[in-house]
Chain A
Amino acid sequence: MTDAIIIVSGLPRSGTSLMMQLLAAGGIPTLTDHIRTPDPDNPRGYYEFERVKKVKTDRTWLPDARGKAVKMVSQLLFDLPTDENYRVLFMERDLDEVLISQEKMLARLGRPAANRHELKQAFLWHLNRVHKWLLEQPNFAVLRVAYADLVTHPTEQIARVNAFLGERLDEQQAAAAVDPTLYRNRKTREET
C-alpha cells in the first residue's frame, strides 16, 4: 500500500486542494510544483503538479509519485497507466456549488462561462462514467469523500481517509488544516 500513488481527484472546485492540504499537514508527502500560486479562489494554494496534464504522453514522473499524493482532475484518471497502483481520494461536492465556484474562477480568469444547465448534465454524465470505469480497474482503490462532510465533520472524515491510506496520517494535524470559513459558495437550504 505504501508504494501506491495517492491520487486526489474530482471536479475542479470540489475540495481537492483542501484534501491535499490536510494530507500534507498530516504528514503525507505531496507532489506539487507550486507553479499555480495562491489566489482568491484558493487562498491556501492549489497543490498542483503541471505534469499531470500531460500524463497521456509523459509518464516518467509516476515512479517518483509512489507513496505520495498528487492532485488530478477526474478526466485525467483515464490516462493513467495500468502498471501502477493507485489509491484515489475522490472529492464530491454539490454540483451547483461546484458550478457557481467554477463560474467565479472563470470570471477572474476573464473567460466566458458555459450554460450552467448543460454543463451540469455533462458533469453528471462524466462523473457517472468515471465511477463506472474506476470500478472496473483492478489497480485502483477508491474512497469517495463528500466535501461538505469533510468541512463540517473533519474528525470522522479524516479517520476514514486515514484507514483508507493504511493509517499513515496524523489525524490531529490533518484536522487542524480544515478551515470551515473557506467553505464558500455553499448552497443555502432555500436553494435546495
Chain B
Amino acid sequence: MPKVHIESALYERARKAADAIGYSSLEEFVAHCIENELKKLNIEEAEKHVTNQLRGLGYIE
C-alpha cells in the first residue's frame, strides 16, 4: 500500500481531529479528506471528458 509523508505536527493534529470526530482510524479520516478534495477538484470528471473527446476524435483507443 502506498505511503505518504506528512509533517509530525500535522500528523498529530490530524490524529486528534480523527479521534474527536469519531473516525475509527487516522487512515479512514485521511482517506475521507482526500476523497472530499478530489470531489471538489472534479479531477476524475475532467479526465473522463478529455479521454472521451480524444477517443471521439480518433486520437486514442
Chain A residues proximal to chain B, CB less than 8 Å: 12, 36, 53-54, 73, 75-76, 102, 105-106, 109, 111-112, 114, 118-119, 121-123, 125-126
Contacts and interface: CB of A to CB of B under 8 A. Distances in A.
Contacts of A123: 50
A126 B50 contact: yes
A105 B52 contact: no
**Contact size range, B:** 10 to 19
Contact of B57 (A106, A121, A122, A126): A106
7 contacts: A53-B60, A73-B54, A75-B60, A76-B60, A109-B57, A111-B56, A114-B49
What's the dominant secondary structure at chain A's contact region? helix
Interface of B: 43, 45-47, 49-54, 56-61
Contacts of A118: 49
A12 B57 contact: yes
A106 B56 contact: yes
A42 to B, nearest CB: 12
Nearest to A72: B59
Contact of A36 (B43, B52, B58, B61): B58
A122 B54 contact: no
B43 to A, nearest CB: 7
Given A118-B49, A125-B43, 17 more contacts: A53-B59, A53-B60, A73-B54, A73-B59, A75-B51, A75-B54, A105-B57, A106-B57, A109-B56, A109-B58, A112-B56, A114-B53, A119-B49, A122-B46, A123-B50, A125-B46, A126-B50
